[in-house]
Every structure is written in structure tokens, then in C-alpha cells.
Amino acid sequence: MDPNKKKALDAALLQIERQFGKGTVMRMGDQERVAIPSISTGSLGLDIALGIGGLPKGRICEIYGPESSGKTTLTLQVIAEAQKAGGQLLLLTRSMHWIPSTPTNWVCRWMT
């Protein structure tokens, strides 16, 4: 890699780490791994695919996909896993009216 490009890339990565925290950007092959606390999704396969054992704690996570793809189910499962560990979450959704009444009541009870 051109030394000037490498310097520019290193400076950009340093600025990103200062602003967003160590481990925000990782290069393939880096030996150092930053332990990121996470909340299990309740799915071992998904936790492994995410690389840190679930969704990162203290970060905003967006779950999106086509209709009926399991977004709400996954979200409620993550909330349940966080509650088991004594955590708190904020659920923001534009589709709350699609959630059946039982989970809605469950989430509302949890949030109050």
C-alpha cells in the first residue's frame, strides 16, 4: 500500500476510535480482539454469526427485514434475554400495532 494512503487510513481509523471507542473498526488479521459485552439473541447460530455472542450492550441496534421475517420475535427474545441478566432496554418501533396483545402488555409492563 502507498505510504501516504496508509498514513491517511491510519489517521482516519484513529479519529474513528477516538470518537466511537476502541474496537469500533477492526482490520482483518488483527491479533488483538476487544471484548465487547453482549446480550444473547437466544439463537446460538445468530450469536456465533454476529461474532461477539449476541448484540452489543450499550449500542443502538437496528433490526430490519421484510414483513414476517421475525424482526419482532427476535427483538422480544433479546429483551427477554436482557431481562434474565437484569438489564434494561428501550424498544422503539413503528409497527407496535402488529405485536399481539400479550407481548405488548409484557413489554409495556417491563418499561413502566
Task: Note the pLDDT of residue 107.
Answer: 52
Give pLDDT, residue 97.
Answer: 58
Query: With left for phi above 0 and alpha for psi between -120 and 50, is residue 98 left, alpha or beta?
Result: alpha
pLDDT tens figures, 18-70:
998 877 787 777 666 678 899 999 899 999 999 889 999 888 888 889 988 98
Cβ distance 71 to 78 under 8 Å?
A: no
Q: 83-102, pLDDT tens digit by residue?
A: 888 887 777 776 655 555 55
Quote the DSSP letter at residue 24.
Answer: S
Lowest mean pLDDT among 16-20, 81-85, 102-106: 102-106
Q: What is the Cα–Cα distance from 37 to 25, expressed in whole angstroms? A: 16
10 Å Cβ neighbour count for 46? 15
pTM over 0.75: no
